[in-house]
Every structure is written in structure tokens, then in C-alpha cells.
Structure 1
């Protein structure tokens, strides 16, 4: 049966379509408004639809899937080489259609609403943490102009400001004192927002069996467990643990010619937030008594950051294995007598 493949270049208000009829081979192009877009596919038999994995694409994929279509999301970076000539919506849609025929381009799994909601909590927590740091640094810089020097670090800086407030106020005009009060109130509110989101994530973990499994792994905490569970979803979207680790950007780039291959730094593909959580967890684990023996031995002959990335890669593969196989974490993980199960 010849199924028509529709390539969709998405935007907020206008959708550009490109397709080749599966029976006649006729090439079709059409630009539709968002409302007409769903009407168009509601009137079509089950088809194959491809889109770039970008803002709003998971929602569109779920909507089209509910209409009976098979939807695939392609990484935007891998679609770009297929654009020929000048770049516009029609050229992008055609490039998507061409890329969909390429067997080596990895598909991005479509996330459920729950997965996106959990990851949204993580995004907002990261946002408030970033704004909090920026606000404290702005306050630190303003106080420095009046001769008030705060020590490095959020906790140390705020503690010093609280303990020596009377001394500092003697150096500050009344207007500046009020500005400091406003900044401190804003920082307290941001702390409350971060704690509220972390409480939500605790509830998510309690209700999510995969997150509870992942939390058992040394080096994976509350943030890592909930974010990895939401990212993995149906872990069978990756054929093996190594593929998932590669998708997080924790494998080295390589380049070669004339039979010589050179390995470089990590590829940094995929979601940088997930990679950050894995690397931070690996660094913490490496400095703890729970660090696996192979990592300790590797630390004797390789730079510490190389070992941290290797351990982060291992954490990613372990997470995939636990979710894909519905397994329980083996406490012998990392010991010489443990049997490797992460691919």
C-alpha cells in the first residue's frame, strides 16, 4: 500500500505543506492557516506526516496522531543539509520530505502531555535559578559601588549581608537601602518558587515508577530521576543504551580521512539540560564513597573531566536499561563482579 508522506514546515500561524502522492507521484504544495491545517488532515486518510522537532511540534504530533496519522519528528539540524537553493518555507518543507526518505536520520520520540508538563517544571526551576543568580549578582555589583564587598557564593553572600546589614547601611544612602530591601524580597520570592517546584517534582517522583527506580541509582537525584523519566518515556524509541547515551551528547566526536580517525570532545548533541544533570551527578558521585571501582581506577590515568563524562555516559546507559527493561537497580553496580546489563 502506497502511503502519502506529508512534510510540514510549522510556524505559529502558517503551515507549509509538501507531499508526493503515493499513488500518482504528483507533487503537492500548500500553505494553510493553523485552523485550516487541522481541517485538511481531518479529511485525509491515514498518512505519514513529518515535521521538525521544534517549538509546538509535540502538540501538533499528538493532534495529528489522534486523527489517525503516523507522525515523525526529525532533528532540525539534520534537516538543514537537505535545503537546496534559497531558504524559505516551501524549501524547508521540501527538505523535510527529502530528509524523511533518508534511513540514517534519527527520529525524535513524540512526548506525551505528562512528559512535557514534567519537563516544563524543570524549565521553570532552571529559569528561576538563573534569574535568582542574576539578581544577586546585580545586587552584589551595585553594593560594590558603595564599598560593600560580599563574598562569593549565594549562601555566603546573603549570610554576610544579613549579619552585617547595620554596618552596611551606614555606608548606603536611604534610597540605596530601599533598593537593597526590594532585591532581597525578590530573592526570597524566587527561593519560594524554586522550593514549590521541587515539591511538585517530589510528588511527580512518588507517582512515577520509573522515576523511583532511577532515584535508586547513585549519582541520580530528584532532578535527574524525574527529568530522565520524562525524557525517556517509551525507552524502546532507542534501540539500545548506547543510542540513548549518544543522543544526550555524551559520546566523542570523530573525524577521519585516509583511514585515520581522530577522536575529539563530546558531541554535545541533544538536550543540554539533561546532559548537565548527568554530568553534575557523575561529578558528585565521583567524589563520594559510592564511586564505582572502574571510575576510581580510570582516575589514576585519565584527566578528571574525562572520567566524569565517562561516568555520566554510564549513568545515561543505566537509566535507559532500568526504564526499557522495567528492572530494579543492582546494588553491585560498578563492582568488578557485577554483570553489565546496560549495553
Structure 2
């Protein structure tokens, strides 16, 4: 059965749809409100729907797939090549419509659980970043008063009680209280990071794929859970080499005149 290619440029409130009506041959390029989006495709014959793999795309892909449509998520860089003029919603939807009809490696639609795990990874990454900023700030503030501690979070955790006790006798109480509050925030973020890691360990016990990757020597909890959540459907990859290329673990290539040079890994995967 023939399917109708459809390009959708998703947004927060208004989605732009582009397709050619199979009955009349009319080019349709129009906006649809978010509240009417699913209703618009509910009673239509099966479509091949293309969307950029961006915010909320996996949610809408699951909803449309449940209706019986085929959904293809594509990297934004791939779609960009088909938008050769002005950039607006209508032009973007047309570019997606063109791109969805081309042979390319689609982004696997993630399950809600996979998305949840990736969000926990993002939350943990942000907490680690904020904790490092707070530690560096506290270390710099104490250095202004002649207190220097060893490098690293563990060394600071051991030294901070004695350090604050020493300066408490000679510095204003308001500053001491502020320093204690800042260290409390650092400890609180450490507890939140540990909580996220505990939840990831619980998922590892329930998911066979995570267990299998975790058993590989050198692979830890974060790598195993991130790999399974990131890849979506593993059947989308023909081999381990293809997955490595998709994840950006292959050398970057430059070449001209038949000569190809290999460099460091591209890191152009899902970071």
C-alpha cells in the first residue's frame, strides 16, 4: 500500500504540515494548532511522517505510531540540506517533506523509559557541574583568607570542618554562616547525585540489555544505562560498527583528490 509522505515542523503551540494530497494533487502547507494535531491524523490513511529529532519529537512519534502511521525521525543537519532558501516554518516543513523521502539512517524512536533514563543522566550531569562550580567557588573564597586545601572534592570534604573551625575565631559570623550554607548545598547536591545513581542501578536490575552491556569489562553503570537509553531500538543498527559510527566513536575523515586522512574520533554522535 502506498503511503503519503508528510513533513511536520513541530513547535510549542503551532505545527506546520507539508504534503501533497494524493487525491487532488494539491500542495498542502498549513499550520495546525497543538490541540488539533493528533485529531488531524486520526482518520487519515497511513502516512510516512517525517520530523526532526528534536524536543518532544519522540513523544509525538509514539502517538502517531499508535495510530498506524510510519514515523521517521531525522537529524536536523540532514534536514537542513533540503532548505535552500529562507528559513521559516513553511520552508522547514517542506524541507522535512523532501528529506523523509530520501534514503537515510533514521533516529530510533525511544520508549518513555529510555527517555526517562536519559533525563536522569542529564539531571545528574547538571548536578555534577553545579557541584563543581560551588566547590571551586568555596575553595576560592577560603583562599582569600589564607586557607588552602588539597585538590579534589574528597580532599576538600575532609578538610572543610577543620578549616571553618579555624577561621571561625577571626572572621565575621555572617560570613561563616554563609560558608556553612554553601557547603550544605554541596553536600545536598551530592545526595541528589547518589539518589539518581541508585535509581539507575534499579533500572539495571530490571533491564536485560543493560545487564548484558554492564557485564562487559570496563563498562560501568553510567555507560551501560546511557548506551541502552540512547540507541532506542537496537535492531535499527546492522552491526556494532554501524552503532559505533552513529555514536561518534569512529575517526573523523578529511580527503581530497583520492587521498583520505583519518583523525581522532569524530564525537559527532548523541552526546
Gaps of 5+ in 2: none
Q: CA deviation at 1:72?
A: 0.7
Residue pairs, 1:63-78, within 5 angstroms: 63-78=63-78
Q: CA deviation at 1:76?
A: 0.6
Inter-CA distance 182–99: structure 2 relative to 1 (3 Å threshold): same
Q: Is the 8 A contact 1:6 1:49 kept in 2?
A: yes
2:221 aligned partner: 222
1:206 aligned partner: 205
Q: CA deviation at 1:173?
A: 2.0
Q: Distance in 2 between matches of 1:147 and 1:44?
A: 72
Q: CA deviation at 1:28?
A: 0.9
Q: CA deviation at 1:113?
A: 0.6
Q: CA deviation at 1:241?
A: 0.9
Q: Is the 8 A contact 2:164 2:176 kept in 1?
A: no
How many aligned residue pairs are there? 271
2:176 maps to 1:191: no
2:268 aligned partner: 269
2:99 aligned partner: 99
2:22 maps to 1:2: no
Q: CA deviation at 1:154?
A: 0.9
Inter-CA distance 24–264: structure 2 relative to 1 (3 Å threshold): farther
Q: Distance in 2 between matches of 1:99 and 1:204?
A: 36
2:50 aligned partner: 50
Residue pairs, 1:1-343, within 5 angstroms: 1-103=1-103, 105-272=104-271
Q: CA deviation at 1:249?
A: 0.7
SS, match of residue 65 in structure 2: helix
Deviating more after overlay: 56-65 vs 132-141: 132-141
Q: Deviations over 1:17-70 (max 9, x none)?
A: 111234554311110110111111113122110000001100010011111111
Which of structures 1 and 2 has the larger relative contact order (alpha carbons within 8 angstroms, sep 6+)? Answer: 2
SS, match of residue 31 in structure 1: strand
Q: Compute the RMSD of aligned alpha carbons.
A: 1.5
Q: Distance in 2 between matches of 1:252 and 1:169?
A: 54
SS, match of residue 82 in structure 1: coil
- Return structure 1 stretches of 4+ with deviation > 3 angstroms: 22-25
Deviating more after overlay: 254-263 vs 177-186: 254-263
SS, match of residue 36 in structure 1: helix
Q: CA deviation at 1:171?
A: 4.5
Q: Is the 8 A contact 2:8 2:96 kept in 1?
A: yes
Q: CA deviation at 1:145?
A: 2.5
Gaps of 5+ in 1: 273-343
Query: What is the TM-score of this pair, normalised by structure 2?
Result: 0.95
Q: CA deviation at 1:231?
A: 2.2
